[in-house]
Amino acid sequence: MRKRLASILALLALPSLARASAEHPYDPHPPPTLAWMLTQLVPSPELGFGAPRAAFGVRWQLTPILYSWGMYRKLSPWRTFVVEPLTRQSGSIEVFASPENLAGEWLFRTGVHATFPLLERGEKLALTLGAGAVLGTEASAEFEGGFSILFGALGLFVSYAPRVTASPATVMLRFRWF
């Protein structure tokens, strides 16, 4: 348990490692505040579609690491866990980790997302595409895509994991704040 706790704390400390910026002395990585932690606990609801019927689920989302190509060039493009909305929405690629409970079963999704700005540098509308794996009682490759609005706070995402027999397709209403 202590090792797990130490691992989590070490991961949360990673933002300090991403502060490097050759050109600019004031380049703060956003800190993992209590408010941020609480918002990360809010899950996004989803519906899984498959046999025998649609199932309700919830999904959490974490970003162990993100690279932004849209943010201003004088700043470090790297972020760990805490990511400002514009840093993601203006064009980025990230590793995602998503614990999920779908119809009572715990799953874990991980892979890579790329987000592309469509309107107002992505603050008004952005497209996200991704691929990865679903791990649970069944394992499968998965593909994801969706649109997000309002600084990325609200999104509609579709996932498809062909080898998850109970719910290969899911539709998620994504809530995300940082």
Q: Residue 5, SS3? A: helix
Q: What is the b/e burial string over 148-159, where b = at least 16 CB atoms within 10 angstroms of the residue's CB?
A: bbebbeebebeb
User: How far is the CA of 94 from the CAs of 134, 158, 172, in angstroms?
Assistant: 17, 17, 19
- Judged by beta carbon, residue 79 or residue 109, the one nearer another protein is 79
Find the binder of another protein among 120, 129, 141, 165 (CB under 8 A).
120
> If binding is defined by CB under 8 A, does position 150 make contact with another protein?
yes
Find the binder of another protein among 8, 13, 20, 119 (CB under 8 A).
119
> If binding is defined by CB under 8 A, does position 162 make contact with another protein?
no
- Judged by beta carbon, residue 143 or residue 175, the one nearer another protein is 175
In which residue are the tokens 């996932």 written?
159
> If binding is defined by CB under 8 A, does position 151 make contact with another protein?
yes
In which residue are the tokens 């952005």 written?
126
Q: Which stretch in 7-15, 33-41, 101-109, 130-138 sits in contact with another protein by CB under 8 A?
A: 33-41
Half-sphere exposure for 34 (CA within 13 Å, toward CB): 0
Q: How far is the CB of 73 from another protein (least distance, A)?
A: 5
- Judged by beta carbon, residue 24 or residue 53, the one nearer another protein is 24
Could you say which DSSP state residue 28 is in? P
The closest of 36, 59, 43 to 178, measured between CA atoms, is 36
Give the footprint of another protein on residues 59-98 (CB under 8 A).
69-75, 84-87, 90
Could you say which DSSP state residue 42 is in? S
The residues binding another protein (CB under 8 A) are 24, 26-28, 30-31, 33, 35-36, 39, 69-75, 84-87, 90, 119-121, 123-124, 149-151, 177-178
